[in-house]
Amino acid sequence: MKVKINGKLYNGNTGETLMELAKRNNIYIPNLCHKKGFEGQGRCRLCIVEINDGGKTKIVSSCVYPIKDGIEVSTNSDKIIKIRKNIILLLLLRTPNNDTIKSLAKEYNVDIHYKYLDNKKKENCILCGLCVEACDKLGTKAISLVNRGTTKKVSTPYDDASKDCIGCAACVEVCPTDAISIDDKNGKRTIWNRTFNLVSCSICGKYFTTYEALKYTDDKLNIEKENQICNSCKRKEISKKFKESFKNTY
Amino acid sequence: MNNSNRKILVCCGTGCLANNSFEVYTKLKEKLKDTKIAVQPLVKATGCNGLCEKGPVVKILPDDISYFKVSTKDVDAIVEKTILNGEIIDKLLYYDTNEKKKLISHKDATFYKHQQKISLRNIGEVDPLLIEDYLERDGYKALRKVLFEMTSEEIIDVIEASGLRGRGGAGFPTGSKWRTCYKYNNFPKYIVCNGDEGDPGAFMDRSIMEGDPNTVIEGMIICGYAIKSHKGYLYIRDEYELARKNMQIAIDNAKKHGYLGENIIGSNFDFDLEIVRGGGAFVCGESSALMASIEGNVGEPRAKYIRSVEKGLWNQPTILNNVETWANIPPIISNGAKWFKSIGIENNSGTKVFSLVGKVKNTGLVEVPMGTKLRELVFDIGGGIIKDRPFKAIQTGGPSGGCIPKEHLDISLDFDSLSNIGSMMGSGGVIVMDDTTCMVELARYYMEFLSEESCGKCTTCREGIKIMLEILTNITKGEGELEDIELLLDLSETISNASLCGLGKTAPNPVITTIKYFKDEYIDHIVNQKCNAGICKKLTSYYIEEEICIGCGLCAKKCPTNAITGIKKEPHIINADICVKCGACFTNCPTGAVKIGGVVVESKN
Ligand SMILES: Cc1cc2nc3c(=O)[nH]c(=O)nc-3n(C[C@H](O)[C@H](O)[C@H](O)COP(=O)(O)O)c2cc1C
Ligand code: SF4
Ligand code: SF4
Ligand code: SF4
Ligand code: FES
Ligand code: FES
């Protein structure tokens, strides 16, 4: 399949989305709700591009648009830039104090003195849904997008401390705007209205996860209680072992 | 009187039921039982006659006498006078506002004469719960015809040649939808009926499901047979309890009579139907959200670059059509494509049901040929504006439709003409507005509705509508600036271009069209600080024009706060400090001396 992006021809695979094709070829299309493993949400709308399909032009969101042979894509036409600026403005109106969004606004020259901007607003979540996707993928499903319209938000059932949350912070990891409040203090982690005891690494002694998260992954992978070792120590261990085995053979 | 073939039809649609029509129905039956008549007339409960506002409706056949606003108190008189003696009860007759006289048969009313019924053909004439009534009016004949005489291609050819376009909103050609789905050899396939009917004020789908459920069932089975699907779902709005009940009874009866289920009337074709209760949100009427909801997921739309005819319900090929679309299928099969095409206009065959509401004299459901002029709908069928006030605009297409000003009164009502002027057909809701409607407030109202009904999935729709609402609210409060108009148009462009589903893509329509056709009203609000309709209270004041006032004192009598003073037969005065701007004086002044002014800059003490 041949697809022209910004004037250059690329080979596409059947079933691939425009975003995937662009990424493979190092063409950057701005996006906020798209991440490897969590594709195809189409929430943030930042990834819109203009396509010409047999003479008809239309605007599509590249993260969900399956490519078609012969289409011509423009990722940065004047029209796209104009609309994308407005999308960033809309995000800024929601989260005027968020660094990720503020730097996007700067990059796109969006007027940050817009008269409808309420600078006192504390909101950081842009409802990209990635945290929910991550939690779903783990199988814990502790959080979800609730309500509709302007009252939509990410939440645990009834905003209570979630029974299902294991405190793994995968949601925090994927959040593009650092919107999820997490507090690690004195061997305890508070997240989604719940407090967990943290586990310290048996090698370096650093707190690195919760008991619940450790048990959940152990149970899931069906392994006997492993040593409580953090990821960075684990990596070090492995490379040490690797070096040793290398030494022994040669 | 000869009662051997007499029928008394009592409307038991939702509207009439709310006005106790069921009590009228039972009382009529009891009364007749107690009355010594050799042959008892047949009393039937029917679906909505489309004149709910004048309900309960009772029709007597074959005499063709129709009574309106019937209460249980009238039952004795109906039996004793009309049934036994053939006398007509004058006070229950229909009053035709156009002809300014009472009519014995409502079919002679201007409201009816301009109508042509295809999808509503049986409603009000049959008892929806009796399959026998449907069969008597050629029901399931089209099904018999396709099952024993037609191939899939032949069926699809007929639907395609008829030019039928989907009645649920976008007007997509039904035949071509069926053909694409037919081509996919990926089984199972599904058939879905969209009975979500989210547009406020629209009630044609409800009336069809309540009043003639069998026609929807028959349409769906025909499609199932054509595309080789064996399972259909009826997605019915959460609030539509009676529609769900009547539909379920009709499904059960169709099964009992062999029209549904296994080996339908000995044809070897199996088809089953299941009712799904709607998710209760406006957006659930959107096809992909609706399917997500049937699958048990959150009713959020998805991108439709791969269409549901290829991957719909559970990723299988699916045909989704609107209730009214389904109701057109059996007559098209029975009477042929040519017949259907001969009704309506080029590219817009057949009829369309409109629900006419707002400031018109006759409100209700009307089915007219496509291409009927808007003027005819408002002034002939609708009987004109209440109190003969000036016509200002109509709004079509539901909350995200557009406003049409009087310059376009002669527009033809069809899919293409409406979208050419920035509005749309939508499901056929038509709201008539007079000079007491403020167009800025109207746009604000729709943005408020949509901000609550947007699913909130995508940034542009969720945040965009919210900010548009904020800007419009400011304007109605007198805090707008001229540049806000450009801002609204700029945001509209972003929202309609970059939103994911049809809700967001069409949401700015009310704002775009009111700015296009009523820009001076925006300017009046912003620059002159004045709401000419007297709706935006912050920008409204009332005063009495001395030269016109005859000093009758009616305004003073109606004023709830005693803000009006004056001596009889001399001009009266409104004290702006006490006035609460209720507008009672304005609507009650017999000479039109009460005028609407803008903001009172400073009131004298
Ligand atoms: C926000 C939104 C709401 C909708 N609501 C309805 C509805 O209540 N009923 C309906 O039949 N179609 C509705 N539609 C249109 C459907 O998505 C779909 O196009 C239609 O049901 C297809 O049937 P048709 O081809 O027979 O018209 C809606 C569309 C959108 C974007
Ligand atoms: S909390 Fe973060 S990851 Fe979750 S929806 Fe909001 S912005 Fe996205
Ligand atoms: S356009 Fe609006 S209703 Fe449609 S998916 Fe986006 S947020 Fe939801
Ligand atoms: S608008 Fe109402 S309160 Fe004001 S003067 Fe008229 S009747 Fe009285
Ligand atoms: S990345 Fe495509 S919509 Fe968010
Ligand atoms: S319900 Fe009786 S006329 Fe509508």
> Alpha-carbon distance B129 to B204, whole Å?
18
Mean pLDDT of chain B: 94
Nearest to A42 among B464, B466, B500 (CB): B500
> Which of chain B's residues have a Cβ under 8 Å away from the Cβ of A86?
460, 490-491, 494
Pairing of β A188-191 and β A207-210: unpaired
Distance B183 CA to ligand 1 centre (A): 23
Distance B505 CA to ligand 3 centre (A): 8
Q: What are A's interface residues with B at a Cβ cutoff of 8 A?
A: 40, 42-46, 48, 59-61, 64-66, 83, 86-87, 90-91, 93-94, 116, 126-127, 145, 147-152
> Alpha-carbon distance B333 to B336, whole Å?
5
| Mean pLDDT for the stretch of residues B158-180 | 96
> Alpha-carbon distance B439 to B521, whole Å?
7
Q: What is the pLDDT of residues B442-473, one digit of tens each?
A: 999 999 999 999 999 999 999 999 999 999 99
Distance A201 CA to ligand 1 centre (A): 56
Out of B48-52, B236-240, B355-359, least confident range: B48-52
Is the pLDDT reported for residue A214 higher than 90? Answer: no
> Which of chain B's residues have a Cβ under 8 Å away from the Cβ of A152?
455-457, 462
pLDDT band for position B497 (cuts 50, 70, 90): very high
Number of neighbours of residue B89 by Cβ within 10 angstroms: 14
B574 Cβ below 6 A of ligand 4: yes
B306 token code pair: 């791969």
Model ipTM value: 0.91
Is residue B338 within 8 A of residue B321, CB to CB? The reply is no
Q: pLDDT over 70 for what percent of chain B?
A: 99
**pLDDT of A230:** 83
B299 Cβ below 6 A of ligand 3: no
Sign of CA dihedral A231, A237, A241, A242: positive
Question: Best substitution site from B541, B545, B564 to test ligand 4's pocket, by max atoms within 8 Å of Cβ?
Answer: B564
> Alpha-carbon distance A192 to B538, whole Å?
44
Nearest to B498 among A83, A145, A147 (CB): A83
DSSP-derived letter for residue B277 is E
**pLDDT of B1:** 57
Residues forming beta bridges with residue B564, ordered by sequence position = B574
> Which of chain B's residues have a Cβ under 8 Å away from the Cβ of A126?
459
Q: What is the pLDDT of residues B277-287, one digit of tens each?
A: 998 899 999 99
Does residue B489 belong to the interface with chain A, where contact is any CB pair within 8 Å?
Answer: no
Is residue B96 within 8 A of residue B110, CB to CB? The reply is yes
Most A CBs within 10 A among B307, B486, B497, hence the mutation to make, goes to B497
Spatial CA neighbour of B43 closest among B56, B60, B65, B57: B60
> Alpha-carbon distance B438 to B440, whole Å?
6
Nearest CA to ligand 1 atom 1: B503
**pLDDT of A226:** 59
DSSP-derived letter for residue B173 is B
Ligand nearest to the CA of B452: 3
Does residue B305 belong to the interface with chain A, where contact is any CB pair within 8 Å?
Answer: yes
CB A83 to CB B471 under 8 A?
A: no
Closest residue of B to A63, CA-based? B303
pLDDT band for position A243 (cuts 50, 70, 90): confident
> Alpha-carbon distance A136 to A158, whole Å?
18
Ligand nearest to the CA of B400: 1
Q: What is the pLDDT of residues A106-149, one digit of tens each?
A: 999 998 777 888 989 999 999 999 999 999 998 889 999 999 99
Does residue A213 come out as left (phi exceeding 0), alpha (psi in the -120 to 50 range) or beta? alpha
Q: pLDDT over 90 for what percent of chain B?
A: 87
Ligand 2 atom closest to the Cα of residue A32 is 8
Determine the angle formed by the axes of helices B241-256 and B204-211, rounding to 10 degrees: 40
Is pLDDT larger for residue A216 or for residue B145? B145
Measuring CA to CA, how many Å separate A22 from each of A3, A25, A67, B405?
10, 5, 11, 47
**pLDDT of B604:** 39
Residues touching ligand 6 (Cβ under 6 Å) are B 11, 13-16, 48-52, 55, 57
Number of neighbours of residue B93 by Cβ within 10 angstroms: 18
B286 token code pair: 């959107």
A41 Cβ below 6 A of ligand 2: no
Spatial CA neighbour of B98 closest among B435, B361, B401: B361
Measuring CA to CA, how many Å separate A240 from each of A18, A208, A234?
42, 21, 10
B560 token code pair: 């709830």
**pLDDT of B244:** 97
Rg value, chain A, Cα: 22
Nearest CA to ligand 2 atom 7: A125
Sign of CA dihedral B457, B460, B461, B465: positive
The answer for residues whose C-beta is within 8 angstroms of residue A5's C-beta and 6 or more apart is A21, A22, A25, A27, A73, A74, A75
Nearest to A149 among B302, B451, B459 (CB): B451
Is residue A34 within 8 A of residue A47, CB to CB? The reply is yes
The answer for residues whose C-beta is within 8 angstroms of residue B343's C-beta and 6 or more apart is B116, B118, B349, B350, B351, B369, B370
The answer for residues whose C-beta is within 8 angstroms of residue A188's C-beta and 6 or more apart is A195, A196, A197, A198
| Mean pLDDT for the stretch of residues B162-176 | 95
Does residue B315 belong to the interface with chain A, where contact is any CB pair within 8 Å?
Answer: no
Q: What is the pLDDT of residues A138-180, one digit of tens each?
A: 888 999 999 999 999 999 998 888 889 999 999 999 999 999 9
Number of neighbours of residue B561 by Cβ within 10 angstroms: 12
Rg value, chain B, Cα: 27
Q: Is B65 helix (H, G, I), strand (E, B) or coil?
A: strand
Residues forming beta bridges with residue B565, ordered by sequence position = B573
> Alpha-carbon distance B500 to B475, whole Å?
28
Question: Best substitution site from A18, A23, A29, A33 to test ligand 5's pocket, by max atoms within 8 Å of Cβ?
Answer: A33
Residues touching ligand 5 (Cβ under 6 Å) are A 31-34, 42-47, 61, 63
CA angle at B439 for the pair B433 and B443, rounded to the nearest 5°: 110
Q: What is the pLDDT of residues B358-417, one digit of tens each?
A: 999 999 999 999 999 999 999 999 999 999 999 999 999 989 899 999 999 999 999 999
Ligand nearest to the CA of B196: 1
Q: Which amino acid is at B386?
A: I
| Mean pLDDT for the stretch of residues B421-437 | 93
CB B491 to CB A152 under 8 A?
A: no
Residues touching ligand 1 (Cβ under 6 Å) are B 166-170, 172, 194, 196-198, 283, 285-287, 320-322, 325, 427, 501-503
Distance B458 CA to ligand 5 centre (A): 9
**pLDDT of B4:** 76
Question: Best substitution site from A154, A171, A173, A192 to test ligand 2's pocket, by max atoms within 8 Å of Cβ?
Answer: A154
Pairing of β B573-574 and β B231-236: unpaired
**pLDDT of A138:** 87
Out of A42-46, B47-51, B245-249, B530-534, least confident range: B47-51
SS (H, E, C) chain A: CEEEECCEEEECCCCCEHHHHHHHCCCCCCCCCCECCECCCCCCCCCEEEEEECCEEEEEECCCCECCCCCEEECCCHHHHHHHHHHHHHHHHHCCCCHHHHHHHHHCCCCCCCCCCCCCCCCCCCCCCHHHHHHHHHCCCCCEEECCHHHCEEECHHHCCCCCCCCCCHHHHHCCCCCCCEEEECCEEEECCEEEEEEECCCCCCEEEEHHHHHHHHHHHCCCCCCCCCHHHHHHHHHHHHHHHHHHHC
**pLDDT of B107:** 83
Does residue B252 belong to the interface with chain A, where contact is any CB pair within 8 Å?
Answer: no
> Alpha-carbon distance B373 to B343, whole Å?
14
Is residue B298 within 8 A of residue A145, CB to CB? The reply is yes
Question: Best substitution site from B286, B463, B501 to test ligand 3's pocket, by max atoms within 8 Å of Cβ?
Answer: B501
Is the pLDDT reported for residue B202 higher than 50? Answer: yes
A131 Cβ below 6 A of ligand 2: yes
Nearest CA to ligand 4 atom 2: B582
> Which of chain A's residues have a Cβ under 8 Å away from the Cβ of B454?
148-150
B283 Cβ below 6 A of ligand 3: yes
Is the pLDDT reported for residue B603 higher than 50? Answer: no
Does residue B494 belong to the interface with chain A, where contact is any CB pair within 8 Å?
Answer: yes
**pLDDT of A227:** 67
Distance B354 CA to ligand 1 centre (A): 15
